[in-house]
Structure 1
Amino acid sequence: MLSQDGGRVGFVGVSLGGALPYGVVDEARCVYGLRHRAPHRRCDCGFHCVHDRAQAEGLLCTAEHRAAVLLEVAVLGSYIRFERGFRYARQRVRAMTVGACVRSCGAAAGVLTEADWGRPGWHALQATCADCARGRVAVSLAAFARLAGNGLRVRAGQGAAPPPSGAGVDELAAEAAFLQARLDWFQTRLARLVERGSTGQDLGS
């Protein structure tokens, strides 16, 4: 996920947690809005993970998860064990692996571009090749890692690494698209401030 102003990134879950973006290091919150601490034994809340990487990769074969990324996490805080993994209170995302371009062009993915959905204040992102990224809000893998902070490692999965001859071009194109999106946002904000000032309204903070 990329914030509307382009200054923050995050993640959403692929099932119940899909409504609540979270950071690289974050606390789980009850998706039903209940006031108990996650995870609760009588609720489904909390971060979820599986023990086996092969099981997680297998989920990426399904149509509903094909555009998802694979996260390697460190489980922190209290947890509840289940047959395939853990449900827990706090986590640190250590690494993110992206797949191939989701645009069905067969090319390797080198950037993350806005998908056809989002959340209020957030753009959903998906792995895309440089050609399919044109005209869309885009963030390079390196830029995503930099915005995420906390030592997050972002890498292309097997078969998705960009060819050596075009690696620099892809990243520069993604960075340029990202900067353009930030510039558009700042210009919109500036225009609103100027308009408010010209009508004598209090700008406030």
Structure 2
Amino acid sequence: MNRRLPEERPKEPPTGYKIAHPVLSQDGTRAGFIGVSLGAALPYGVLDEASCVYGLRHRAPHRRCDCGFHCVHARQDAEALLTTADHRKAVLLEVTVLGAYIRFERGFRYGRQRVRTMTAGPCGCGAAGAVLADAGWGRPGWRVLESACPGCAGARRGVAPAAFERLAGQGLKVRILPVAMTPAYGVPELVAEAALLQARLDWFQTQLARIQGGRGG
């Protein structure tokens, strides 16, 4: 006998986290996102409903399919995905899970969502990002964007974070993280660093004297 899983009735819709690439429509009038794995070919909006990526007519999420939106429970799990080579230029999304969902150990699969916030990292050169610039690739009718400083953005087409918020609509908030600050050094750390540099300098001077002495002989 098949037993149905207990239905959850949360007082508020669950919150989840995922990574994606921001996109801008070819005519520059709409903004949205594409995923990084299953369903990456289908852009979605801030408030959107998933459909089966295999073209089946059932509603997502279906128990016998893997269609639907996906997210994880913990923010740090989503942030960890941004460290891989393929996802370094993706953004972090905080989403509200709407409607029916299937809960897993680490996340949800669900049919509707609202993207509340988008957090992008600094420019690839390490400077603070100022615009969302054309990343040089995309999907039919959509340009993928990436965080860029003014110098690296150059003449590439792009939008300011506030403009992306306006085009995406539905109350989306966009953040671009500042450049990571290097840790401050105290006197003991500076003394140790100076001693290490002096030791390296002494070694190089010894090697140079040995080479010059060999040439003189």
Matched, 1:99 2:121: yes
Question: Deviation of residue 17 (structure 1)?
Answer: 1.6
The answer as to whether partners of 1:2 and 1:125 remain within 8 angstroms in 2 is yes
- The residue number in structure 2 matching 1:132 is 152
Letter paired with 1:138: G
Give the superposed CA RMSD.
Answer: 1.3
Counterparts of 1:34 and 1:49 in 2: how far apart (Å)? 22
1:73 aligns with 2:95: yes
Give a deviation string over 1:131-173, Cα, whole Å, max 9, x none: 1111101101111001111110001125379xxxxxxxxxxxx
Shift of 1:33: 1.1
Which position in structure 2 is the counterpart of 1:121? Answer: 141
Question: In structure 2, what is the equivalent of residue 38 of structure 1?
Answer: 60
Report the equivalent of 2:12: none
Identity of matched residues, %: 70
Answer yes or no: is 1:21 the counterpart of 2:48: no
**8 Å Cα contact 1:108/1:160 also seen in 2:** no
Match of 1:148 in 2: 168
- After TM superposition, give the deviation of residue 59 of structure 1 in Å: 0.6
The AA in structure 2 aligned to 1:145 is: E
Alpha-carbon deviations, 1:71-112, whole Å to 9, x = none?
00000010001111100000000000001113xx22111110
Q: Is the 8 A contact 2:132 2:161 kept in 1?
A: yes
Hey, which bits of structure 1, 4+ residues long, moved more than 3 A?
A: none
Q: Aligned to 1:11, what secondary structure does the other structure show?
A: strand
Q: Which residue of 2 aligns with 1:89?
A: 111
Q: Which has the larger radius of gyration?
A: 2
Q: TM-score normalized by structure 2?
A: 0.71
Q: Is the 8 A contact 1:109 1:160 kept in 2?
A: no
Unaligned runs of 5+ residues in structure 1 are 162-205
